[in-house]
Amino acid sequence: MHLENVPRIRDVETLVDLIKSIGAEAEWTARNALTIHAKQLRATELDPALCRKIRASILLAGPLLARCGEIELPPPGGDVIGRRRVDTHFLALQQLGATFTLDDAFLLRAKRLRGADVFLDEPSVTATENALAAAVAADGTTVLRNAASEPHVQDLARFLVAMGASIDGIGTNTVTIHGGRPLRGCRYEIGPDHIEVGSFIGLAAVTRSEITIERAGVQHLRSTLMGFERLGVACRIEGDDLVVPGKQEMVIRSDLGGAVPKLEDQPWPAFPADTMSIALVTATQCEGVIVIHEKMFESRLFFVDKLIGMGAKIVLCDPHRAVVVGPTKLHSGRVESPDIRAGMAMLLAALCAKGESIIDNVGQIERGYERIDERLRALGAKLERVEDRRLK
């Protein structure tokens, strides 16, 4: 198996370490190319320390259950952005023939997986991906209803098709998998990350800079572009590239009748939850008032106290809603990165603030953004890594 355009981020490197720990051979053949041989896998407990580092460890449940017949999976880690239930994963696998128990870890067993008509109780991205991976190995046909359809879910489905699977309805909320076909190795190029694209749109907006994002996966950006247009940030598509013009007016667009607008996240294809932190920081630099409504995670907006400390005019109404009044001139501060997306949002705030800021715990940002310091310096940003430095 050869994968190209693999993001060289900390979460992916941890996942590679996990699959190597159970017998897979994995080698980085280039900066963003990975070759994997998984002929010999052990049905064993996954390393709890590695699982605690990333949410994605749970994505091994479906594939290892299908391959080995059992898996002992420690609770996954990842961002602390509120409760992140895993029930949907195991309920879906149970409908495909698995049994599971929970003690200190999840123990899943399945002598035989069989196709089923599965309704997911929420359109969870990772639960849909686990169900897809298990269903391609199950005997018979599986129909996944209320399935997530984010670009990375579509990418996984197309990857499985490249391996020999038969899947209908890719990109919709009802996916049909004709299971039991033999799978083979293949070469596959992973698509662009629409969340990273949204982050760079926010970067261009708050710094009033023009940025061209090459091979941006523009076919997946309609909701993202609509959300930023509500903030007064317009982009243009040039072939496969996205251009964010510099020095835009950035006036928040009121709803009809002059009502205060609201930007809210919802399951795909609506505005992505992982772009909300970026949009909130962008709103602090736009003229007008807007309600940011984060529906998906009850702790994601708590990072706004750090922005308020930098001078932002934000009222946190409750764990899910914040009112942002802009524009405000942010000043420097010492902050920390609480999770991947809030960390990137704080980095954007620091880049548009007056003075020198320090961001601690940047390892969180690097879990989701590859070589972010190098890439920002290439765009003209003034930033450096430091071990121990205090604001003067």
User: Across residues 46-63, what is the average pLDDT?
Assistant: 87
Nearest-angstrom CA–CA distance, 151 and 220: 7
What are the tens digits of pLDDT across the range 329-349? 999 989 888 889 999 999 999
CATH 3.65.10.10 in the chain is located at 2-189, 194-378
pLDDT of the residue at 313:
97
User: Across residues 133-138, what is the average pLDDT?
Assistant: 96
User: Across residues 132-160, what is the average pLDDT?
Assistant: 97
| pLDDT confidence tier of residue 47, bands split at 50, 70 and 90 | confident
Fold of the 2-189 domain = UDP-n-acetylglucosamine1-carboxyvinyl-transferase; Chain (3.65.10)
Indicate the pairing of strand 117-119 with strand 140-145.
Answer: parallel
Sequence letter at residue 82 = G
Sequence letter at residue 352 = C
Backbone angles phi, psi at 180, to 5 degrees: 85, 0
Q: Return the exposure string of 284-300: e unless at least 16 CB atoms fall within 10 Å of the residue's CB, then b.
A: bbbebebbbbbebbebb
Nearest-angstrom CA–CA distance, 235 and 242: 7
Structure tokens at 49: 């320390």
CB-CB contact of 115 with 96 (8 Å): yes
- pLDDT over 70, % of the chain: 96
CB-CB contact of 345 with 359 (8 Å): no
CB-CB contact of 28 with 34 (8 Å): yes
Nearest-angstrom CA–CA distance, 90 and 246: 47
Instruction: Please compute, for residue 92, the number of CA atoms within 13 A of its CA located in the half-sphere on the CB side.
Output: 32
Residues labelled catalytic:
79
pLDDT of the residue at 307:
95
**Structural Rg of the chain based on CA atoms:** 22
Nearest-angstrom CA–CA distance, 88 and 108: 14
User: Across residues 146-163, what is the average pLDDT?
Assistant: 97
User: Across residues 268-273, what is the average pLDDT?
Assistant: 94
Q: What share of the chain is helix, strand, coil (3-state, %, to 5)?
A: 35, 25, 40
What are the tens digits of pLDDT across the range 350-381? 999 999 999 998 888 998 999 999 999 999 99
Tell me, yes or no, if the pTM score tops 0.75: yes
3-class SS at 203? helix
| pLDDT confidence tier of residue 120, bands split at 50, 70 and 90 | very high
Nearest-angstrom CA–CA distance, 28 and 146: 36
Structure tokens at 188: 């596959």
Q: Show Cβ contacts of residue 101 under 8 Å, excluding neighbours closer than 6 positions.
A: 107
H or E element that contains 347: helix 340-352
Assign domain 194-378 to a CATH class: alpha beta
What are the tens digits of pLDDT across the range 80-101? 444 457 889 989 999 999 998 8
CB-CB contact of 9 with 340 (8 Å): no
Nearest-angstrom CA–CA distance, 351 and 232: 20
CB-CB contact of 351 with 358 (8 Å): no
| pLDDT confidence tier of residue 56, bands split at 50, 70 and 90 | confident
Nearest-angstrom CA–CA distance, 304 and 306: 5
Q: Measured in whole angstroms, how far is the alpha carbon of residue 300 from the centre of its chain? A: 13
